[in-house]
Amino acid sequence: MAYVHNFSAGPCVLPQAVFEEASQALLNFDNLGLSIIEISHRSPSFVAVMEEARSLVKELLEVPDGYTVLFLQGGASMGFLTVAYNMIRNQKKAAYVNTGAWAKKAAKEFSFVGELDIIASSEDKNYSYIPKNIVAGSDYDFLHITSNNTISGTQYKDFPTSDTPLVCDMSSDIFSRKINVADFDIIYAGAQKNMGPAGTAVYIVKESILGNSSIPIPTMLDLNTHYSKDSMFNTPPVFAIYASMLNLRWLKKNGGVGHIQNVNEKKATLLYNEIDNNPLFEGTTAIEDRSTMNATFLLKEAALTDTFNKMWQEANISGIKGHRSVGGYRASMYNALPIESVMELVNVMKELTEKHG
């Protein structure tokens, strides 16, 4: 079967080596004669998986002392309310930056527990840029941002700096570039964008914030519950965590976050150069805010849409149709997408112009 170039925005492309090892574990994990999805999550074999997954997060992101790593059920959508409960303090007020659909949904969830201020937004231009010079005053319990906006194709290149505790949803670009974890009180991310299968989310949490909420927290939303039990308070999403661990192993083996950041920048540069130089295409976002993970672009000649669609489909390219709110095309270039796939897309774009430009 021909290789498919998977540009899907999520669930994400993962390395073939991860699929191969995970498929074997579905049949016989750790030579137990049992599947990874039927063993006890309390067994030594899975406890070792959980410990390695958490350890790899700390190693790859250079997580400093005073932070804990948790793997929990649900995705970032569950995290929207989880961080709201765990970060609310005496002010009962939080600042949010609205840079896209997911940032807007995160803000909505905080409104259930406290007073919400949208202190900056790019909704006025259909989320095509990142607001700059963001400052949240001391009257807020925390500031919430979304690091990468999958639908609109924008990404923070520099994070806000202030004394206000910073919380970030990094679902679609975690492990894609180096970050300074110490700048954040909570980083959280659903697995299915750049880490593993859907079903789990990773939380990187400053330990000093735990147990300090000014309102009662439901047990399952209390990060202190899971911290006290090493992410094993209840049955965790075993397979999603196992596959995420394999993916993190792959990342470490292939040079870590610093190396993959260089690769990701090369992939993005290759595609954005074609978008900018090809007369049939144009980008949809501010150039300085373009996402390395999700490139969004339009075909200028609507009459060529069917032709272009047929060409990329015949080239075994999958998942590049844009979100309905933006239109056009979206090429998601997560860690495991090889640069050869980007080259194939660029070649199709060039061919279209050569024949019809």
Q: Which residues partner with 95 through β-bridges? A: 117, 143
Peptide bond into 44 cis (omega under 30): no
Say what angle helices 44-60 and 238-253 make with each other, to 10 degrees.
40
DSSP of 299-338: ES-GGGHHHHHHHHHHTTEES-BPPTTT-SEEEE--TTS-
Query: For 204, phi and psi rounded to 5 degrees?
Result: -110, 115
Question: Which one of 141, 173, 185, 193 is the catalytic residue?
Answer: 193
Pairing assessment for the beta strands 143-146 and 166-169 based on DSSP bridges: parallel
Cβ proximity of 244 and 53 under 8 Å: yes
Annotated catalytic, 250? no
**Rounded Cα gap, residues 176 and 335, in angstroms:** 6
Angle at 110 between CA 104 and CA 114, to 5 degrees: 140
Annotated catalytic, 312? no
Annotated catalytic, 169? yes
**Rounded Cα gap, residues 211 and 234, in angstroms:** 19
**Rounded Cα gap, residues 96 and 74, in angstroms:** 22
With residue 56 as reference, give the H or E element that holds it. helix 44-60
Write out the catalytic residue numbers.
102, 169, 193
